[in-house]
Chains A and B, each alone.
Chain A
Amino acid sequence: MITLIGVSHQSAPVSLREKMAYQDQDLAAGLKELTSRNRITEAFILSTCNRVEILALCEGDRGIDCVRSYLQEAGRITSEELDRYSYQYHDADAVRHVFRVASGLESMVLGEPQILGQLKASYAAARETGTVGSVLDRLLRNALSGAKKIRTETGIARHPVSIASAAVELARKIFGALDGQSALLLGAGQMSELVATHLRSHGVERIIVSSRTYTRAADLAEKFEGTACNWDGAISWLESVDIVVSGTAAPGIILEKETVRQAIRARRNRPLFLIDIAVPRDVDPAVNQLDNVYLYDVDDLEGVVEENLHERRKSAEAAKRYIEEEVAVFERWLDSLKVSPALVDLREKLHGVGAREYARFRSKLGPLTSEQELQVHNLLRSVVQKILHPPIRYLKDAAVRGEAVDAVARYRDIFDIQPAGAAGEADETDETGKAGPTHLVEGGKEPQS
């Protein structure tokens, strides 16, 4: 059974999450500890600032209890705390949850991309430790590739949902690529710094900082390898910069329409993007009426963010549909695993019959050369394979249709195959009572002695 137990920003306070969180260096030990417990065959741990989750392949309810007890011990939390703040998913629900987490549908900021990197790192750690086997490995690989596809096709992470990134998006609508552009910061507050950081990371080459306190401007300019300038000289930069971020604590307007009009004339109508993040506003709203000038204040930017969030929610609906398809595919694959032991048993049974019949008739065949003996082996093996083909096909198709359990039971009845561990002793000897080989020689080759 695939089981997922975890806590997240939606279910648990940070005080509990931080107790349960893993440092990178502790992850391997935690994974080993988990898989060393009875009834847990595969394990994976995802630990981020927003969630701690354990994904395990375990045997029945007792396996789930093992995961729970591990979580209590490792996180030093009580059973009541675990009951109250954690969530549990099993099988299809657990698979669905893994896909949702990977796609950012469970993230604090819908569709945020960091979770994909965190999931990749955790998957790499689990692989390195050797705690993911065929089931969890396939699930995690599918979740990672599915999440990438969701991001590409639904655009869930395409629209920025922070003020600073929205400002960058708008700047790109005006200037295209921001490489080689320059920005003027009026005021050296935290918000201006944040916007400037985003602009810089998107290619803005030069940042000029101006503040009423020159030392603050100089400090911030140094951070961006930019230029600090006196407050009185800031306006002259309007003629050459492309973006202005204004976030001063001034009580009134500091950039009048006429000032900007003159600047636009001097810059020969090159577009100017003004981001006014100050409250009260620094830039006269009438500036937006000027040709080739684009002014956005805090409310405008929040409007953009809200619109982008709306777009992400729409994309999330498409992502959910895609995830349901992926969950169904994974479930079918899981079902197909249920027929694997029956297929092995069936092959062994029929090849065993062939081998025993060969042994029974061997003495009646007279002396055979090694080449002739090999050909007889090949003949028998080929006949068995031909007989096996339709039932194997049927079992595999039944697994795809979700009828694996019934089909396996039917085949065990028809071919009198006992499940592993309960194999009948009757097959140990043939009808003559003589012990004989139980398998045809693989590929008709002579066994190595």
Chain B
Amino acid sequence: MGSILFSLSLAACTVGIVLTILTTMNRSTAARIGSTIALAVAAVLQLAAIVLHARSTGRLPMGNLADFLMALGWLVLVGYLLVNARWKVPALGMVLPPMAFFLSVLGVVLPQKHSVTEPVMASKGILLFHTSLSTLGMAAFFVAAAMSLVCILQDRALKRKQTTTWLRRLPSLHKADRAGLEALVWGFPLFTVGIATGIGLLAMDHDNVKLAITKPLFPLLAWTIFAVVLGARLARGFRGRKAAYLTITGFILGLLTVIGINL
């Protein structure tokens, strides 16, 4: 049942992506509404598939890389729907839903290997809390990174006086910047608590001292970057290309960390 729902979700997502491309090209209202409906349906079906999968395996969702990628794919899709509803940035539909699709497919294709940390964790409840918050934080950073990419492209187009058809479809710098900042503001506390609980869980694992020391290094590095970017943005008005590049760097580090942990 779970795999059927997941296949249906991928089909709805494909329809949504095609309609999103049509929306961006033709600015058709019907295609815009259709793409939103198809992607929302895809999100609902994928959530149901994830829940069924967790129940059938008896394992916590996001317990390994495959589960994590599937959950991240779902969160990115939901993140896109929320950001688009709030900021009206259909051009982002060219990036986020295809990425969500790709992540979800990866989640299915990758072997269902258990994380090395799971069996030694003291509490499955804390683990679920930790992975959920970390994944939510990463999904928010995903949106922030996508918005930063839009900022970089728009900034470059404006600086170089380029006006191609595709660049016209991009949201304004202000809109992309505000949406990216908002995603950072939402993602940072989630990621912070996620990291804190992760460190706590590792500390409870007395048999694995080496892991407890080395494992949080990369997440902390990513966290530091996000903390600097967010702090500078809120306190000093730091923005533009440099802020965008830093956000993307932080996101890549965070993503590599999560992938590394679950490999």
Contacts and interface: CB of A to CB of B under 8 A. Distances in A.
Interface string B236-259: 111111100000000000000000
A402 interface: no
Given A296-B161, A304-B163, A155 B239 contact: no
Interface in B94-148: none
Nearest to A273: B158
B163 A172 contact: no
A320 interface: no
Given A155-B27, A304-B163, A270 B175 contact: no
Interface in A285-300: 288, 291-292, 294, 296, 300
Quick one: which of A159, A170, A173, A268 has the most chain B CB within 10 A? A173
Contacts of A300: 161
A292 B242 CA distance: 10
Contacts of B239: 269, 292
A175 interface: yes
B102 to A, nearest CB: 29
A269 B240 contact: yes
Of the four ranges (under 10, 10 to 19, 20 to 34, 35 or more), the interface on chain A belongs to 20 to 34
B165 interface: yes
Nearest to B158: A294
Q: Which 9 A-B pairs have the closest CB atoms?
A: A268-B237, A176-B172, A176-B174, A291-B240, A307-B163, A292-B240, A269-B237, A176-B175, A294-B158
Interface of A: 153, 155, 159, 170, 172-176, 267-271, 288, 291-292, 294, 296, 300, 303-304, 307-308, 311
Contacts of A271: 173-174, 240
A288 B159 contact: yes
21 contacts: A153-B28, A155-B27, A159-B168, A172-B172, A173-B154, A173-B157, A173-B170, A173-B173, A174-B158, A174-B174, A176-B172, A176-B173, A176-B175, A269-B236, A269-B239, A271-B240, A291-B240, A292-B239, A296-B161, A300-B161, A303-B161
A174 B165 contact: no
A304 B172 contact: no
Interface residues of B, number: 24
Given A291-B242, A292-B239, A173 B165 contact: no
Contacts of A294: 158-159
Interface of B: 26-28, 154, 157-159, 161, 163, 165, 168, 170-175, 236-242
B233 to A, nearest CB: 9
A268 B236 contact: yes
B161 A175 contact: no
Nearest to A300: B161
Contacts of A308: 163
Contacts of A173: 154, 157-158, 170, 172-173
B241 to A, nearest CB: 6
Contacts of A153: 26, 28
Nearest to B242: A291
A303 B240 CA distance: 25
B3 to A, nearest CB: 40
